[in-house]
Amino acid sequence: MPRALRASAALTAVLASTLVAGNAGSANASIVAPPDKIVIEIATVNGSGCAPGTAAVAVSPDNTAFTITYSNYLAQVGGGASPIDFRKNCQLNLIVHVPQGFTYAVASADYRGYASLQSGATALQKASYYFQGSPDTAARSHSYSGPYDDNWQATDETEWGQLVWAPCGVKRNFNINTELRVSAGTSDPAKTSFMTMDSTDGEINTIYRLAWKECPE
């Protein structure tokens, strides 16, 4: 069995804040922190990559960050893998209480994990972000091809003018959807290819950074 499958599949996701103020047309806005603390609550955690009992949540003491530890976020094909194991996903539904007069958006996200892909196999990591009731969705994806047997890392970045902002003066839950997908392609079906969103060394895996700006009066 591959080293990463024997190891504990621990994923840590941290939501940190990059506090940026300015207008939508400025990519080089000055940095300013909202005057009050930010409170983050987890409304729901759902998905085949974070089944009940396989995800733990902890909020930082200053309420500006949270960590999520997954124990079974793994997509795989071939070998003894189940036909439904080729795709795993997780949806985080967040309640973010922000100081009055401010709004926020996800400016960037860093993902990492481990992948072992046979020659001819491929894998996809995908993430999307949207606010409850909003048609605007920011989505990014990253592809990998075998042969591959190493850690992987991907960064999603959004230009200031393309950021999806929380509605001012309205409480809307914020959703983060992540997905791992592995395809056997032309690889030997008797051999396993897999992708995890975790790390065998237990280091921080995913960091979501928030951009901030003041709401119009």
pLDDT per position as a tens digit, 75-128: 999 998 999 999 999 998 888 888 888 888 887 887 888 999 999 999 999 998
Distance CA 17, CA 1 (A): 39
Q: State the pLDDT at residue 3.
A: 40
Q: State the pLDDT at residue 122.
A: 98
Please indicate whether residue 78 or residue 211 has the higher confidence score (pLDDT). Answer: 78
Confidence band for 60, pLDDT divided at 50, 70 and 90: low
Q: Which residues contact 168 (CB under 8 A, 6 or more apart)?
A: 103, 215, 216
Please indicate whether residue 164 or residue 41 has the higher confidence score (pLDDT). Answer: 164
Question: The dihedral of CA 117, 115, 178, 166: what is its sign?
Answer: negative
Distance CA 145, CA 39 (A): 40
Contact indicator for 76, 86 with CB cutoff of 8 Å: yes
Give mean pLDDT, residues 151-169.
Answer: 84
Contact indicator for 164, 105 with CB cutoff of 8 Å: yes
Q: State the pLDDT at residue 78.
A: 96
In the chain, the percentage of residues whose pLDDT exceeds 90 is 29
In the chain, the percentage of residues whose pLDDT exceeds 70 is 71
Tokens 């996903």 map to which residue?
89
Give mean pLDDT, residues 185-195.
Answer: 96
Give mean pLDDT, residues 52-62.
Answer: 65
Contact indicator for 170, 163 with CB cutoff of 8 Å: no
Q: State the pLDDT at residue 98.
A: 81
Q: Which residues contact 53 (CB under 8 A, 6 or more apart)?
A: none
